[in-house]
Amino acid sequence: MRWLLCLLLCAAFVISGCASESKASSDGRVHISYWEKWTGFEGEAMRAVVDEFNRSQDKIFVHLLTVSQVDQKMLLATAGGNPPDVAGLWSFNTHVYADKGAIMPLDDFMKEAGIKREDYLPAYWNLSFYRGKTWALPTTPASVALHWNKDHFREVGLDPERPPRTIEELDAFAEKLTKRDENGKIIRMGFMPSEPGWWNWGWGYFFGGTLYDGKGRITANSPENIRAFRWVQSYAKKYNVKDLQVFQSGFGNFSSPQNAFLAGKVSMELQGVWMHNFIDKYAPHLNWGAAPFPHPADRPDLANSTPVDIDTLVIPTGAKHPREAFEFIKFVQSQRGMELLCLGQRKHTPLARVSPQFLQNHPHPYLKVFIDLAKSPNTFSTPKIGIWREYQDEMNNAFSNIWLCKMTPEEALGLVQARMQKKLDRELRQKRRRRL
């Protein structure tokens, strides 16, 4: 009989190890778990919000846990039936996870709490709105602008307070700002479409293109996109691919003083509202400015184009305390919570209403540029299709082939078009089968 006892003991250990810690709270509060991606000062900003929420009431206690690759881990935890109550994801996850049933629609909770779409800047709101429902609420937003190095402008005789307004001006400025040493080696580029390489998919939008028509058709090789990538390739041709490769291979990590823009190797660069934090940290003496990215001279209607993005809060399907989870989300969505968070991360807020103190206390010298960009009619974002991650990788690959002059824009984008249309057709077939 002793061995049976042994076995039972083992089983007991295993089971107690697996069981979710349903914290039978001795303090009478409901304890909820919240997984978030942020580390460093961005994580601290969110921690301050969580602490503030925990102090503000005595019913709910939020445990914030920093998790890397939080989107994948949340998905696996949800599949395993033991998800966190709240998770902080990216907006590109929203529609994919909604389609897979991994996250809950929030509309009923929102109605109860009196949260309306008018409370938000429309560009940011739209990112979470999918198939007629709201699947996530924003935390911090981002719009993107051209950053320029004023000292470089001064050095080559350009007005340091006057950034380029059209693509043609950008090209002319870039030529002036580019420097080579006595051996002809590039030591500074005025502008490089490959830096930082995060919006390789998006160049077409600055020229009036799109990647998806919203009705089942991929539009990767539209004339606007081809025009955009011809422009990308014009840099590779003008400054010589090989020279650019050697020059580029000397760039360090984004988050380091060797960052190409911070180290003064690139004079103008497309960057998000967060760039200010990195300038502050790694190159505090840099003399810089931020302005809307230029538009083609023949398309003034495309002025103030910007990709927009948000970080999101979601409630995974199967979360044990969805109601309490939403109480916390509601706190983050309040003007007080949101401004505490966004000031801590030194971004603007996704809310339509902003307090004067927020703007006054904000350390970002060009915050208004980013707020205005977010309000522009020409914001764009990644298409809401399940194959987006793959589509993005395809666009990166096409960019690489175009940038290295291994393919013409027509060839590279044609390949993307054929490949992704096939994948999209398959996705739509699968969705029909699952009646989505």
Residue 428 burial (C-beta neighbours within 10 Å; 0-12, 13-18, 19+) = middle
Does 100 sit near other proteins (CB under 8 A)?
yes
Does 400 sit near other proteins (CB under 8 A)?
yes
What is the distance, to the nearest Å, from the Cα of residue 93 to the centroid of all Cα atoms in its chain? 11
Of how many residues is the chain composed? 436
Does 396 sit near other proteins (CB under 8 A)?
yes
Q: How far is the CB of 106 from other proteins (least distance, A)?
A: 18
Does 102 sit near other proteins (CB under 8 A)?
yes
Does 430 sit near other proteins (CB under 8 A)?
yes
Q: How far is the CB of 406 from other proteins (least distance, A)?
A: 6
Stretch that binds other proteins, among 213-221, 266-274, 353-361, 383-391 (CB under 8 A): 383-391
Q: Which of 404, 408, 421, 428 binds other proteins (CB under 8 A)?
A: 404
Q: How distant, in Å, are the alpha carbons of 146, 241, 322 from that of 233?
A: 19, 9, 50
Q: Where are the alpha helices (DSSP H) in 121-258?
A: 122-128, 150-155, 167-177, 203-206, 223-239, 241-248
Q: How far is the CB of 69 from other proteins (least distance, A)?
A: 8
Stretch that binds other proteins, among 17-25, 100-108, 136-144, 151-159 (CB under 8 A): 100-108
Q: How distant, in Å, are the alpha carbons of 148, 151, 202, 244, 262 from that of 266?
A: 9, 12, 20, 12, 8
Q: How far is the CB of 387 from other proteins (least distance, A)?
A: 7
Binding mask 246-275 for other proteins (x = CB under 8 A): xxxxx-------------------------
Q: Which of 335, 397, 408, 421 binds other proteins (CB under 8 A)?
A: 397
Binding mask 138-157 for other proteins (x = CB under 8 A): --------------------
Is residue 279 within 8 A of residue 262, CB to CB? The reply is yes
Does 245 sit near other proteins (CB under 8 A)?
yes
What is the distance, to the nearest Å, from the Cα of residue 239 to the centroid of all Cα atoms in its chain? 30
Dig out the tokens for 332 from the structure.
């983050």
Stretch that binds other proteins, among 33-41, 68-76, 124-132, 303-311 (CB under 8 A): 68-76
Q: How far is the CB of 361 from other proteins (least distance, A)?
A: 37
What's the CA gap between 150 and 158, in Å, rounded? 9
Stretch that binds other proteins, among 146-154, 348-356, 377-385, 390-398 (CB under 8 A): 390-398
DSSP class of residue 389 equals: H
Q: How far is the CB of 364 from other proteins (least distance, A)?
A: 29
Residues 6+ apart with CB under 8 A from 380: 202, 205, 210, 305, 306, 307, 308
> In one letter, which amino acid is 436?
L
The strand pairing partners of 272, in sequence order, are 144
What's the CA gap between 289 and 276, in Å, rounded? 10
Does 320 sit near other proteins (CB under 8 A)?
no
Binding mask 23-42 for other proteins (x = CB under 8 A): --------------------
Stretch that binds other proteins, among 25-33, 156-164, 335-343, 426-434 (CB under 8 A): 426-434
Does 171 sit near other proteins (CB under 8 A)?
no
DSSP class of residue 62 equals: E
**In this structure, how many other beta carbons lie within 10 angstroms of the beta carbon of residue 175?**
13
What residues make contact with other proteins under the rule CB under 8 A?
3, 6-7, 72, 75-76, 78-79, 96, 100-102, 245-250, 386-387, 389-390, 393, 396-397, 400-401, 404, 406, 415, 419, 430, 433-434
